Amino acid sequence: MNILLTGANGQLGKEIRHLLANNNSPLGPVSKTLREAKLFSTDVAGDNIQPLDITNAEEVSSFLETNKICAVINCAAATNVDGCEENKEFAEQLNEVGPKNLAVACKKADAVLLHVSTDYVFSGDNPMPQTEEAICAPNTVYGKTKLAGENAIREIWPKHFIVRTAWLYGKFGKNFVYTMMDLGKNHDSIKVVDDQHGSPTNAADLAYEMLALLDTENFGTYHCTGNGATTWNVFAQEIMNQAHLNCTVEGCSSEEWAAPAPRPVWSILDNKHLRDTIGDKMPSWDVSLRTFLQD
């Protein structure tokens, strides 16, 4: 089995590579089929990586054909939420045209497509955990282009998994946990927003569930986040506590923080489809944070 991984140099892409190479998830083993698969790790550029630009339809299609790809895991995306507001065309290319190109190529090659999406497809106004069937109403360029990418895949190719996640952190990226730890080492006190709610997600756990899904034919849309919910402020406090950092985390409002793109107030996803199919092994967000910091 030949698998194509796109965006393989990103935070989640590296986590997938790490898990396939080491089979070391606390959530369970990776299947033998996937461990023995030949992985083609690609990204738009970078050292020791095969170049593949997902915005180039011909390049994508010929890559799948030449390498007899049976499954594609798409971790490539424009993920800078504020950057997407400033450069809409770039966001559209990466988050909409790229997934569309992959879906077309997968259809031609009869390959399964596993695509990663986001909580930003929702409006962020609903305090209830959102199931996969909840109505999407994004209000950022990032969210709108990610939803357009999802919809392009749905229209083109039924053999897909669309996995929405949120508040992602991991050992391979610049992310909230590392930022808080750096701040905690150098400051006695910091301010973190306390009016946005969501579920921190360890990329290693997400990678495990993605590979578990890929081992099935239960195609469709899935939510996959750490279980339970919190605010960025409480998340930051928990990071300081668990990392034994002597830094007070004070609250502030989103208004005070004033990010260029609006952030969802409520970003809690319900992993319902996982529970109903392969089972939801995602740990509570605080348990997973402990595992991450211990590692």
Ligand X SMILES: NC(=O)c1ccc[n+]([C@@H]2O[C@H](COP(=O)([O-])OP(=O)(O)OC[C@H]3O[C@@H](n4cnc5c(N)ncnc54)[C@H](OP(=O)(O)O)[C@@H]3O)[C@@H](O)[C@H]2O)c1
Q: Which residues bind ligand X (CB under 6 A)?
A: 6-7, 9-13, 43-45, 53-55, 75-77, 79, 94, 116, 118, 146, 165-168, 173
The position carrying tokens 């290693």 is 204
- Identity (one letter) of the amino acid at 45? A
Q: Where are the alpha helices (DSSP H) in the chain?
A: 11-22, 32-35, 57-66, 81-86, 88-92, 98-109, 141-156, 176-186, 203-214, 232-242, 254-257, 272-276, 285-294
- Taking the least distance from each CB to ligand X, the nearer of 25 and 93 is 93
Output the smallest distance, CB 165 to ligand X, in A: 5
Name which of 29 and 51 has its Cβ closer to ligand X.
Answer: 51
Rg (CA), the chain: 19
Nearer to ligand X, 129 or 248 (CB): 129
Give CA 33 to chain center in angstroms: 23
Q: Which residues contact 153 (CB under 8 A, 6 or more apart)?
A: 99, 100, 102, 103, 113, 115, 160, 162
Distance (Å) of CA 211 to CA 35, 178, 233? 10, 25, 31
Q: Kindly tell me the sign of the dihedral angle through the C-alpha atoms of 120, 14, 75, 111.
A: negative
- To the query of whether residue 142 is one of the catalytic residues in this protein, the response is yes
Query: CB–CB of 165/132 below 8 Å?
Result: no
Query: Residue of minimal CB distance from ligand X?
Result: 10
Q: Least distance in Å: CB of 167 to ligand X? A: 6
Q: How far is the CB of 36 from ligand X (least distance, A)?
A: 25
Shortest distance in whole angstroms from residue 60 CB to ligand X: 9
Q: In the complex with ligand X, which residue's Cβ is closer, 32 or 234? A: 234
20 or 76: CB nearest ligand X: 76
One of 120, 142, 169, 208 is an active-site residue; which one? 142
* Exposure on the CB side of residue 46, measured as CA atoms within 13 A: 15
**Catalytic annotation, residues:** 142
